[in-house]
Amino acid sequence: MKRQLFFLLIGAAFIVLLISLSTFVYLKLKYHSLSKSNIQTLEQSIQQVPQEKIDNVIALLKESLAKDPFNAETHLALGMIYHKNNLLDDALSELETALTIKPDLINIYQEMYLIYKKKGMENEANRALASYEKLKRSE
């Protein structure tokens, strides 16, 4: 009787583990694909922001960060806007913040690579590119 109860508990634990794992994988894949889609839209939107509206966009992003300072995507967006305005040090600062919050956000490395190349920082650019390629392979 004790042996049957033991195997029943082991079986139930295994089923719970499988359900939990499959739910985690599903949510991770769903979140990742949404995030990637949103980032692509963000990149396109930033490229279309007229120069005279940049200050308004920066103010809105900073306001958003005041409410939620741990939003990596907002830090990325601000970094991209700074990059567009050739505020490279400010851009790198925002990207580094985004990186500490969400190190698997591939677009951070892509943007950092471009900025480091502009600044002539080849070693840093190569490290950012290597991180980008590593994350790209794991997708």
**The domain spanning residue 31 has which CATH number?**
1.25.40.10
Q: Cα Rg for the chain, rounded, in angstroms?
A: 21
Write the single-letter amino acid at 47.
Answer: Q
DSSP string, 75-97: HHHHHHHHHHTT-HHHHHHHHHH
pLDDT, mean of residues 105-129 = 91
pLDDT, mean of residues 28-44 = 52
pLDDT, mean of residues 22-50 = 54
The dihedral region occupied by 78, where left means phi > 0, alpha psi between -120 and 50, and beta the remainder, is: alpha
Distances (CA, A) of 1 to 6, 9, 12: 9, 12, 17
Comparing 95 with 41, the larger pLDDT belongs to 95
pTM: 0.67
Range of the domain at 48: 2-138
In 3D, which of 47, 49, 101 has the Cα closest to residue 76?
A: 101
Q: What mean pLDDT is reported for the chain?
A: 77
Q: What is the DSSP letter of 50?
A: -
Task: At 79, list the tokens.
Answer: 């970094």
Do residues 83 and 106 lie in contact, with contact meaning Cβ atoms separated by under 8 Å?
Answer: no
Residue 4: band (very low, low, confident or very high) from pLDDT cuts 50, 70, 90: confident
Domain total for the chain?
Answer: 1
Comparing 69 with 21, the larger pLDDT belongs to 69
Residue 88: band (very low, low, confident or very high) from pLDDT cuts 50, 70, 90: very high
Comparing 22 with 11, the larger pLDDT belongs to 11
What pLDDT shows up at residue 19? 56
